[in-house]
Structure 1
Amino acid sequence: MVRVILLFILSTQIVLSQPFTKSDSLRGTLNGYRSWWDVLHYKLNIIPAVDSNYLSGTNQIKFKVIKPGSRLQVDMQEPMQIDSVLFHDKKCNWVKTEFAYLINLEKAMVPNSLDSIQIFFSGQPREAKFAPWDGGISRNKDEKGRHWIGVSCQGLGASVWWPNKDHLSDEPDLGVYITVTIPDSLSAICNGKFLYIASNPDKSKTWHYRVENPINNYDITLNIGHYITITDTFLGRKGVLALEYVVLDYNEEKAEQYIKQEVKRMLHCFEFWFGAYPFYEDGYRIVETSYLGMEHQSAIAYGNGFANGYIGRDRSSTGIGLLWDFIIVHESGHEWFGNNISAADIADNWIHEGFTTYSEVLFIEHYWNKDSANKYLKGIRSHIRNSQNMIGPYGVNTEGGDNYEKGANLIHMIRQIINNDSTFRKILVGLNREFGKKTVNSEEIEQFIIKESKINLKPIFNQYLRSTKIPKLNLRQEQDKLLFKWENCNSNFNMPIRVFVDKKEYWLKPETKIKELRLDKKAEKIETDANFYVETILSKLEN
Structure 2
Amino acid sequence: MRNIVLILAIFTTATNISCAQVLSDKDGKYTEADSLRGSLRPERAFDVQKYHLKLKVEPEKQFISGSNSISFIAEENLKTIQIDLFENMKVDSILQQGKKLDYNRKHNAVFIDLKEKIETDEKGEIQFYYSGNPIVAKNAPWDGGFVWDKDKNGDPWVGVAVQGTGASLWYPNKDHQSDEPEEVQLDIAVPNGLMNVSNGQFLGEKDLGNGFTEWSWKTVNPINNYNVMINIANYEHFHDTYKNLDLDYYVLPYNLEKAKKQFAEVKDIMACFYEKMGPYPFEEDGFKLVETPYLGMEHQSAVAYGNEYMMGYKGTDLSGTGIGLKWDFIIIHESGHEWYGNSITAKDIADMWVHEGFTSYTESIYIECRWGKDDALEYLKGLRDNIENKETVIGDYGVNAEGSGDMYYKGSNLLNTIRSIYNDDGLWWNTLRDYTATFKHQLVNTQQVEDFFNHATKVDLQPVFDQYLRHTDLPKLEFRKKDGKTQARWVADVENFKMPVDIFIKGVEKRIYPSKNWQTLDGNPDLNDIKINELKFYIDSNLGK
Normalising by structure 2, what TM-score?
Answer: 0.94
Give the conservation status (yes or no) of the 8 Å contact 2:486–2:525: no
Figure out how many residues of one structure are paired with residues of the other and give that number.
530
Q: Does 1:20 align with 2:17?
A: no
> Which residue does the alignment assign to 2:206?
198
Equivalent positions of 1:530-541 (< 5 A) are 530=534, 531-538=536-543
Q: Would the alpha carbon gap of residues 130 and 520 (structure 1) be closer, same or farther in structure 2, given more than 3 Å must change? A: closer
How far does the alpha carbon of each residue in 1:275-316 deviate from its partner, in whole angstroms, 9 at most, with x for none? 000000000000001100000000000001112110010001
Q: CA deviation at 1:517?
A: 1.9
Paired position in structure 2 for 1:67: 76
Identity over aligned residues, as a percent? 42
Letter in 2 for 1:413: T
Q: Where in structure 2 are the equivalents of 1:306-385 lying within 5 Å?
A: 306-385=309-388
Secondary structure at the counterpart of residue 70 of structure 1 = strand
Amino acid at match of 2:164: G
Segment drifting more, 478-487 vs 206-215 = 478-487
Matched, 1:128 2:131: no
Aligned mate of 2:293, from 290, 293, 313 = 290
Alignment of 1:519-530 (within 5 A): 519=523, 525-530=529-534
Displacement after TM superposition at 1:14 (Å): 9.1
Partner of residue 42, structure 2: 32
Residue 392 (structure 1) aligns with? 395
**What secondary structure sits across from 1:364 in the alignment?**
helix
Matches within 5 A, 1:71-470: 71-173=80-182, 175-235=183-243, 240-259=244-263, 261-401=264-404, 402-470=406-474
Alpha-carbon distance in 2 for matches of 1:340, 1:276: 11
Structure 2 residue runs without a partner (length 5+): 1-7, 17-21
Tell me the equivalent position of 2:4: none
Check 1:110–1:188 CA distance in 2 against 1; reply closer, same or farther (3 A cut): same
Work out the CA distance in 1 between the residues paired with 2:232 and 2:109: 28
Letter in 1 for 2:205: I
Query: How far apart, CA to CA, are the structure 1 residues paired with 2:191 and 2:15?
Result: 40
Q: Deviations over 1:431-483 (max 9, x none)?
A: 22111111111011111111123431000000000000111111124587430
Task: State how 1:49-64 maps to structure 2 within 5 Å.
Answer: 49-64=58-73
Q: Is the 8 A contact 1:480 1:519 kept in 2?
A: no
CA–CA distance in structure 1, aligned partners of residues 282 and 407 of structure 2: 25
TM-score for both structures, normalised by structure 1: 0.95
- How far apart are 1:488 and its partner, in Å? 4.1
Task: Verify the 8 A CA contact 1:285 1:299 in the aligned structure 2.
Answer: yes
Q: What CA distance in whole angstroms lies between the structure 1 residues aligned with 2:58 and 2:370?
A: 45
Quick one: structure 1 residues 516 and 122, their matched pair in 2 at CA, closer, same or farther if it must change by over 3 Å? same
1:442 and 1:209 map into 2 onto residues whose CA distance is 33
Query: CA 1:346–1:517 in 2, change beyond 3 Å: closer, same or farther?
Result: same
Aligned equivalent of 2:19? none
Q: Which runs of 5+ in 1 are unaligned?
A: none
Amino acid at match of 1:422: G
Q: Is the 8 A contact 1:64 1:112 kept in 2?
A: yes
- Do the aligned partners of 1:475 and 1:539 also contact (CA within 8 Å) in 2? no
Relative to structure 1, is the Cα distance of residues 262 and 538 closer, same or farther in structure 2, using a 3 angstrom cutoff? closer
Letter in 2 for 1:292: L
Structure 1 residues 539, 140: closer, same or farther in 2, change over 3 A?
A: closer
RMSD, matched Cα: 1.8
Q: How big is each residue's C-alpha offset from its partner over 1:86-121, in whole Å with a ceiling of 9 and x where there is no partner?
A: 111111101211111110113432222112111101
Deviation of the 1:335 alpha carbon? 0.1
Where 1:232 maps in the other structure, the secondary structure is strand
- Partner AA of 1:56 in structure 2: S
SS at match of 1:450: helix
Structure 2: distance between partners of 1:299 and 1:539:
49
